[in-house]
Amino acid sequence: MYIYQTMSNNFGYIDIILLGMIAGFIILRLRNILGRKTGHQDKIYTGFSQKKFQQFEKKEESTKKPKYPGDTLEGEEKEKFLKGAEIAYESIITAFAKGDLKKLKNLLNPNIILNFEEAILQRNKNKIVSELTFIGMKDSQLEKFEKIKNEFYATVKFVCEIVSVKRDKDNKIIEGNPDKIKTVTDHWKFSKNIFSKNPNWYLSEIVSK
């Protein structure tokens, strides 16, 4: 009985020794594979996903890009601009003839609004009535496109047909002919801020040529 207990105890010690050797072997293997931690490794933030890290890696541009790359107006953009310019031209000359300042303010650059207001006020003061019928646009051409500081400027040549008459307080015709269509050529300069999200251009100058 004593011998049996002694052998059992010896086997228990041997098992513990074997388990310790196996554990030591495993630790050595892991150390060789993974390396030792020196305290200089980067911290691992398990609470952040890769997607969240990517949002810090992406650098957002702080400066807005202008609408027209290379400061040019070509192709489809040019066609769209000229179509809009033709509509603006018709709207401005008809609104001016009617003395519609509210409509004009939505189409004119602030620098030129005062000139239109003064002309309308002077016409009203003299009791002159202006009548204008827009017949149609014959041609429109982009003559010049440029960037000055933060503004785009586009000069357009318009050739259109209108019927224009001015009458005095006694309804007497003092200018024009209600039965005659005349051809008018104008050169207008439109402007637009290069960073504006508003697609509209505004008349900034009537060019004399």
- The pLDDT tens digits of the residues spanning 120-160 come to 999 999 999 999 999 999 999 999 999 999 999 999 999 99
Q: Name the amino acid, one letter, at 121.
A: L
In a 10 Å sphere around its CB, with 0-12 CB exposed, 13-18 middle and 19+ buried, how is residue 81 labelled?
A: buried
The answer for residues whose C-beta is within 8 angstroms of residue 174's C-beta and 6 or more apart is 128, 166, 167, 168
For the record, the structure tokens of 76 come out as 């489809």
In what helix (H) or strand (E) does residue 167 lie, and over which residues does it extend? strand 151-167
pLDDT of amino acid 103: 95
pTM of the model: 0.67
pLDDT of amino acid 74: 85
- The pLDDT tens digits of the residues spanning 56-80 come to 344 444 445 545 545 678 889 999 9
**Cα torsion at 103, 107, 111, 115 (round to 10°)?**
-50
